[in-house]
Amino acid sequence: MFLRLLLSSIMRSRQKKLLVVLAATLAAIVAAAMMTISLDIRDKMSRELKSYGANIMVTAAVQPLAEEAGPETTVADRTELIDESQVPKLKTIFWRNNILDFAPFLNAAVTASSRSGKEARLEAVGTWFEHQLVIPTGETVRSGLAPLRPWWDMEGRWPADGERAVVVGRDAAERLALQPGDTVNLGFESGSVDLPVVGVAGTGDEDDGRIFLPLPVVQQGLAVPGKIGHLEVSALTTPENELARKAENNPDSLTPKEFELWYCTSYVSSVAYQLEEAIPGALARPVRRVSEAEGAVLQRVERLMWLLTLAALLSAGLSISSLMSVSILERRVEIGLAKAIGAESSAVLRQFLAEGAVLSTLGGLLGFALGSLLAREIGSRAFGTVISIEPVVLPFTLALSLAMVWLSSGSAMATIIRLHPKEAIFGR
């Protein structure tokens, strides 16, 4: 009986019911679109912020100097090195999918000379330019310097994987009068080697004065095969909070529950900690200039997005409520009549709420579909990448739609139900 009443009521005056569904759909579109974007925005902005460079530096753990060490020892001496074979392990940590880009480095002082007779003492940086690395699971991942230096202005090109060629920083190239296509002679302590220059990079920082070589060349030059000095890692991270800072100072000071929460959240300190676990003898430090800036931006953007979501929902909610109140008030006569022939107030209320539920569900489903599409469109325009559809948004959208419809019709209903049937039908 209830269902029959419900259905017939919905089918009557379909035009007006359609308006209600329309309003509910509208609100649902806004809710779904905003929520989908807000959920994904951290990820998207994070990737955008990757243009800042690596946010974690991995070096060999530093031990206190032996007390007999003489004054000739320089603090900056890199006597401890990391095994190159350990590098693939960084893709095995808990947060492996957040490790986006990485590259190993081994630095050496060299005497560089060019065909034109110019000579200079420079810092040579051995690294991978574009390297396909096989990790313990058998997969191949892309690594290398190129993605870690997106701001480099390259004249020429990057060396290919395995190519014995160099990239020269702009200032160094000027000092040695080098261009892409020239050959440069690099003198290590153990011997010298001639290599072609394929690129000259304008970097805007100290790298302008350096020369970049394939890692094996420097390893040979320093007679340390299979070793590297440090790793730069670029990871997607969550902005730091109180817990993260406490953990960064001393992970042992956390309670087991706190530790698990920290470990399972991609704070930069947590990712660094896990890198230290994976590579024995390593020290992983957050590159604070990058991680702090990333954190500040992400935090602000997230908060802003949620506030905008609230504003949009408020706006949508008011549209619905205005519509619902008007449409309920219109049905005064119907409600009065129902009460006059004996219906209880609660029964009438139930009927209308059920009607609202059906209409809002229809609107909610439609709105979710359209809202998710809208979010994808916005995503591609604002970020150039695809925002994924989040199924978790659907129940929230439906719930919101329902709440909006019920709340707004509820108050109008309450007014009318309190009226005497005679007043409802004939007016005051």
Partner 1 sequence: MLFKLTLGSVRRRRSRLFIALAAVTVGAATVAALSAIYLDLRAQMTRELRSYGANLIVVPAESGSSPAAISGQQLQVLRSLAPPGSLQGAVPYLHGLVDVSDGSRQARTPVTGTIFAEALKVNPYWKIAGRVPAAPGEVLVGTLVARRLALSPGNSLTLSPSSSAVVDQDASTAGGETPPPADRGTPLELQVSGVLSTGGAEDERVFLDLSQAQTLLGRPDQVSSVHLSILGQEPQLEEMAARIQNRLPQLVTRPVTRVSQSEGRVLMRLSLLFYLVVGIVLVTSALGVIITMLNMALERRKELGLKKALGAENRHLLAELLGEAGLIGLMGSLLGIAAGFFLARWIGWSVFDSSISPRPAIVPVTILVSLVMAGLAVLAPIRLAARIDPAVTLKEE
Q: Among residue numbers 328 through 367, which ones bind partner 1 (CB under 8 A)?
A: 329-330
- Give the shortest CB-406-to-partner 1 separation in angstroms: 17
Taking the complex as a whole, the smallest distance from the CB of residue 238 to partner 1 amounts, in Å, to 17
State which of residues 7, 65, 223, 386 lies at the interface with partner 1 (CB under 8 A).
65
Stretch that binds partner 1, among 47-55, 158-166, 341-349, 361-369 (CB under 8 A): 47-55
Told to check if 19 binds partner 1 by CB under 8 A, we report yes
Q: Is residue 97 near partner 1 by the rule CB under 8 A?
A: no
Among 30, 32, 198, 398, binds partner 1 (CB under 8 A): 30
Q: Which 280-299 positions form the footprint of partner 1 (CB under 8 A)?
A: 285-293, 296-297
Rounded-to-integer distance, Cα 128 and Cα 139, Å: 18
Task: Please name the amino acid found at residue 185.
Answer: N
Task: Give the CA dihedral 417, 421, 423, 425, nearest 10 degrees.
Answer: 100
The whole-angstrom separation of Cα 169 and Cα 147 is: 17
Site for partner 1 in 140-169 (CB under 8 A): 149-151, 153
Task: Report if residue 276 touches partner 1, rule: CB under 8 A.
Answer: no
Strand segments (E) across 94-175: 99-114, 119-127, 131-134, 140-143, 153-156, 166-169
CA distance 82 to 276: 12
Encoding tokens for residue 68? 């007999």
123 makes contact with partner 1 (CB under 8 A): yes
Question: Which backbone phi and psi does 198 adopt, to 5 degrees?
Answer: -105, -15
Q: Which of 115, 118, 157, 303 binds partner 1 (CB under 8 A)?
A: 303
Q: Which of 134, 177, 264, 308 binds partner 1 (CB under 8 A)?
A: 308
CB of 394 to partner 1, least distance (A): 19
- How far apart are alpha carbons 37 and 378 in whole angstroms? 8
Q: What is the phi/psi pair of residue 269, to 5°?
A: -65, -35
Cα-based distances in Å from 330 to 6, 345, 405, 416: 18, 18, 16, 10
Helix (H, G, I), strand (E, B) or coil at 388: coil
| Residues 184-223: x where in contact with partner 1 by CB under 8 A, - otherwise, as a string | ------------------xxxxx-xxx-------------
Which residues, at least 6 apart from 336, have a Cβ–Cβ distance to it below 8 Å?
A: 416, 419, 421, 422, 423, 424, 425
Under rule CB under 8 A, which residues in 364-383 are in contact with partner 1?
A: 374, 378, 381-383
In the window 236-275, what residues touch partner 1 (CB under 8 A)? 249
* Binding of partner 1 by 11 (CB under 8 A): no
